[in-house]
Amino acid sequence: MNGNKLQPYKRHKIMKQNIVTILISLAILLAGCSKDEIAGTTVPNKQTATFTVTTDATTRAEVTDLTRYIMEVYEGATATGTPAEHIEQNNGTFSITLKGNTAHTILFWADYGTPDANTANEYNAADLKAVKLQGTTSFRAATKAAWSGMLAFTSGDSTPKSKTVTLTYSVAQINFKQSAQPDFIEDNNTLAVSFKQSYSLNVADRKVADIASTPTLTEIAITSKTAKELGTCYVIARGDNSEEKTLMEIETTFGKGSGDAAEAAKPLSNVPMRAGFRTNITGAYSDVCSSTVTMDCDETWETPDYEKTNYKNR
C-alpha cells in the first residue's frame, strides 16, 4: 500500500528530470547556433556579403540577357587549389557567407549557358582557372561571347558587405568576310574553319595555356551566293595586361552548294586574336575569285587597331 502511494511521486520526479534534460539540450543547441550564421547578420568569424555582377559598358552597351553566372571562391590571396565554393545560377546577384578576417580571391564568369549543365554549354567552366570550349579530340568554336572578372579582398568588419563586380570579354570575336569580288556561283555553300591551336583561360590572370594537338573547329553556312558577311565565331584568347595578342594558324575549306567535292584547304598564318578584340578576316574564300586576304584586330569592335596583309588566294 505504501508503494502505491509513492508511485505518483516517482512519476513526478522522472517527469521533472526529463524536463530538465530537454532544457539543457535546447541550451546546448542554441549555443551552437550562435556560432553559425543567422540569416541577414554578421557573426563572429563570418561575414555575409552580396556580389552584383555587371558587364563593361564603357565602349559597348551593357549586356542584360546572360543566362549563366558562376562564382568561384578561394580562401587566400591567390586562386589556387580547390575552391571553397563553386556556385552557378541564372542571375548576377550572389549572397554568400565568408570566413571573417580572411583574404579571399573570387573569380566570376558569365555566358549564355545553363547553370549546372556544363557539358551542354558552349564553354566548359567547371574550373574557372581553366575555362575551355567544349570537346574532346577537338573543340567547337562558340557562337556567343562570354565575360569574366576577378575580385581580391580581405573580409572584415570594415569591408563593405555589398560589392559590384564588372566583367569584361573573355573571348576573341572572329569575323569571316568575303571581299568585294563576284558572287559565289550558287547558294547554300559552307565554310569549314579549323583553328590549329586551342587554349584554356585562367580567369584569375586572364592568361591562356596551350591545349596540345586539339584544334578548334566550326562550320559556317553560307545560304546566299551574294553573301559578304559570312559568319562569326568566338574562341579562347589571352586577355591579360601584356598587350600581346595570340597568333593562330587557321585553315579554311570552301564547300560547294552543289554537293561537289570541297575545294582545297587554304592556310592562314599568324592571325592576331585577343580577348575583347574583334578580328576581321577579309578575302576570297572560293577558288572562283582571287583576292588579297587582310586581317585587322579591333580593340573596341568598332575602330580598327591595325591591319595586316597575309597572303593571296590562288
Angle at alpha carbon of residue 222, lines to 217 and 227, rounded to 5°: 130
- Looking at residue 41, its pLDDT comes to 44
User: DSSP 3-state assignment of 219?
Assistant: strand
Sign of CA dihedral 279, 282, 284, 286: positive
User: DSSP 3-state assignment of 228?
Assistant: coil
Averaged pLDDT, 77-87: 96
At 99-134, the pLDDT tens digits run 888 999 999 999 999 999 988 999 999 999 999 999
At 269-288, the pLDDT tens digits run 999 999 888 999 998 898 87
- Looking at residue 63, its pLDDT comes to 79
Phi-psi category of residue 81: left, alpha or beta, with phi > 0 → left and psi -120 to 50 → alpha: left
- Looking at residue 34, its pLDDT comes to 43
- Looking at residue 62, its pLDDT comes to 65
Tell me the pLDDT band of 216, cut-offs 50, 70 and 90.
very high
Greatest mean pLDDT among 3-12, 135-144, 274-283 lies in 135-144
- The helix or strand, by DSSP H or E, that contains position 193, with its residue range, turns out to be strand 189-195
Tell me the pLDDT band of 44, cut-offs 50, 70 and 90.
low
Kindly give, in sequence order, each residue whose CB lies less than 8 Å from that of residue 193, ignoring residues fewer than 6 positions away.
141, 176, 217, 218, 219, 220, 233, 250, 251, 252, 253
Q: Which residues pair with 267 in a beta bridge?
A: 251
Backbone angles phi, psi at 19, to 5 degrees: -65, -40
**The cell 549555443 sits on which residue?**
31
pTM score of the predicted model: 0.79
- Looking at residue 6, its pLDDT comes to 47
- Looking at residue 42, its pLDDT comes to 45
> What are the structural domains, with CATH classification, of the chain?
46-169 (2.60.40.2100), 171-312 (2.60.40)
Residue 289 DSSP class: -
Per-position DSSP letters for 112-181, written without gaps between them: SS-TT-GGGSSEE-SSTTSBEESBSSSEE-BSS--EEEEEEEE-STTS-SEEEEEEEE-EEEEEEEE-SS
Tell me the pLDDT band of 25, cut-offs 50, 70 and 90.
low
Cα 136 to Cα 276: distance, rounded to the nearest angstrom: 26
- Looking at residue 288, its pLDDT comes to 78
- Looking at residue 37, its pLDDT comes to 40
- Looking at residue 20, its pLDDT comes to 55
Which pairs from 304-310 meet CB under 8 Å and 24+ separation?
Answer: 304/280, 305/277, 308/270, 308/272, 310/268, 310/269, 310/270, 310/271
Do residues 161 and 267 lie in contact, with contact meaning Cβ atoms separated by under 8 Å?
Answer: no
Cα 299 to Cα 305: distance, rounded to the nearest angstrom: 6
Averaged pLDDT, 63-92: 95
Q: Which of 194-208, 216-230, 241-255, 259-273 has the lowest mean pLDDT?
A: 241-255
Which three cell numbers, joined as nine digits, stand for 36?
A: 553559425
